Homo-oligomer: A and B are copies of this chain.
């Protein structure tokens, strides 16, 4: 199935650095014939994934916005978490992120903030490194044995680099520790100068589906404060998990 992938690969051209492309630029970059490229563009434009603004070339189209609206409007996780997160950031001045697990990806899907002091580099639509940062580790710690083994086989070097262990058994021990603690804290691992505390979120079948985190602009804090914040984050994540049963 080569042709379908080729067509969808056109969409990979559009990123934060290059949100607009002229036909000639795409033609030069992709190496498809003019006819084929116009044909792909027509299909993607008719379906709403791309659009043309006269004199400006091609951009991502309205269907993307509509589909994302649909996700926001129908995802029970976002619906349930929103008020909880809103309350969480009223209590502690920081940024709360809601992340969803998609297979081997952890993606931010909602954020609430109560501070102008710093801006999280993460917001809805931004993927997190899977092996770093509290929000991801809170999810990774609950991967099934099968999925963790598979991931380790594919990326064993990155596990060591992330400090999670040099062998699979070591990694399992590290993640078991996180599971038993019920929350995880990282400092400056993903974003300099901040501390993130995260706890896992489960669906009605007790499967790991995401994490709730709170990010604060502090690189060190007294143990009592850390414990109090962690207890609140865990408390909130449990409310969310229970609401999804």
Contact = CB atoms under 8 A, between A and B. Distances in A.
Interface string A101-126: 01101010100000000000001111
Contacts of A40: 4
Contacts of A7: 4
A125 B207 contact: no
Contacts of A54: 207
A68 B68 contact: yes
Nearest to A61: B102
A4 B49 CA distance: 13
Given A51-B103, A60-B70, A65 B109 contact: yes
A14 B59 CA distance: 23
Given A8-B47, A51-B102, A71 B60 contact: yes
B69 A125 contact: yes
A15 interface: yes
A67 B69 contact: no
A225 to B, nearest CB: 32
A75 B16 CA distance: 10
A14 B67 CA distance: 9
A73 interface: yes
A67 B11 contact: yes
A214 B107 CA distance: 33
Interface in A4-61: 4-5, 7-8, 11, 14-16, 19, 39-40, 43, 46-49, 51, 53-55, 59-61
Nearest to A144: B54
Given A51-B102, A65-B71, A70-B16, A39 B1 contact: yes
Interface of A: 1, 3-5, 7-8, 11, 14-16, 19, 39-40, 43, 46-49, 51, 53-55, 59-62, 64-75, 100, 102-103, 105, 107, 109, 123-127, 203, 205, 207, 209
